[in-house]
Structure formats: structure tokens, C-alpha cells
Structure 1
Amino acid sequence: LLQGYAEEHAIQDLLYYLADGLRRKSFGLDTYLKHVRELSRKQFILRATIYKCPQIAD
């Protein structure tokens, strides 16, 4: 559960820095969208897992 929280926050940080890189024009929109899509999927699964863990433990 703790690792899930850490991974979720790491993904949130990555999304922030990807947006910053796009704003600075370090890479193109297609690259940005590709990585955001991938990270968003991982983040969704992590959040769902974090939400389910306490329910299963009870």
C-alpha cells in the first residue's frame, strides 16, 4: 500500500515535469501525449488498487 502511494506520487511528479517540458518546447505534443496516456493508465490502476486495499483487508 505504501509503495502504491509512492508510485502514484512519482507519476504525479512526472506528469508535472512533462507538462513543464512541453511548455518549454523540449519535445513535441505527440511525445507528450504518448507519455501522459501511458502514465495516466498506470496512475488509474494504482489509485484503484490503493482504494481497494483497505476494503479487502476488512
Structure 2
Amino acid sequence: LLQGYAEEHAIQDLLYYLADGLRRKSIGLDTYLKHVRELSRKQFILRATMRKCRQIAGLPLK
């Protein structure tokens, strides 16, 4: 659960820096969209897994 939490925040940081790179025109739109789609999918699965773990452990859900 702790690793998932850290991984989720790392993905948030990556998404922020990808947006910053796009804004500064360091990366192209195609590259940006490819990575955002990939990271968003991973983040969704991670959040669902963490939610399931919290349910099983009897911890409060966010």
C-alpha cells in the first residue's frame, strides 16, 4: 500500500513535468499524449488496486 502511494505520487509528478515540457515546447504533442495516456492508465489501475487493498484491510477509503 505504501509503495502504491509513492508510485501514484511519482506518476503525478511525471504528468506535471510532461505538461511543463509541452508548455515549454521541449516535447511534441504526440510524445506528450503517448506518455500521458500510458501513465494515466497505470495510475487508474494503481488507484483501483489501492482502493481494493484498503477495503480488504478495513481501512477508510479516500
Report percent identity of matched pairs: 93
Write 1 or 2 for the structure with the bigger share of helix. Answer: 1
Question: Residue 54 of structure 1: CA displacement?
Answer: 1.6
Q: Could you state the TM-score of these two structures normalised by the residue count of structure 2?
A: 0.89
Question: Residue 21 of structure 1: CA displacement?
Answer: 0.2
Matched positions, count:
57
Q: Which residue of 2 aligns with 1:11?
A: 11
Deviating beyond 2 angstroms after TM superposition, the runs of 4 or more aligned structure 1 residues are: none
Q: Could you state the TM-score of these two structures normalised by the residue count of structure 1?
A: 0.95
* 1:23-53 deviation line (CA, Å, top 9, x unaligned): 0000110000000000000000010011110
Question: Residue 55 of structure 1: CA displacement?
Answer: 1.2
Q: Which has the higher contact order (CA 8 A, sep 6+)?
A: 1
Q: What are the ranges of 5 or more consecutive residues in structure 2 without an aligned counterpart?
A: 58-62
Q: Secondary structure at the match of 1:19?
A: helix
Q: CA RMSD of the aligned region, Å?
A: 0.6
Question: Residue 56 of structure 1: CA displacement?
Answer: 1.6
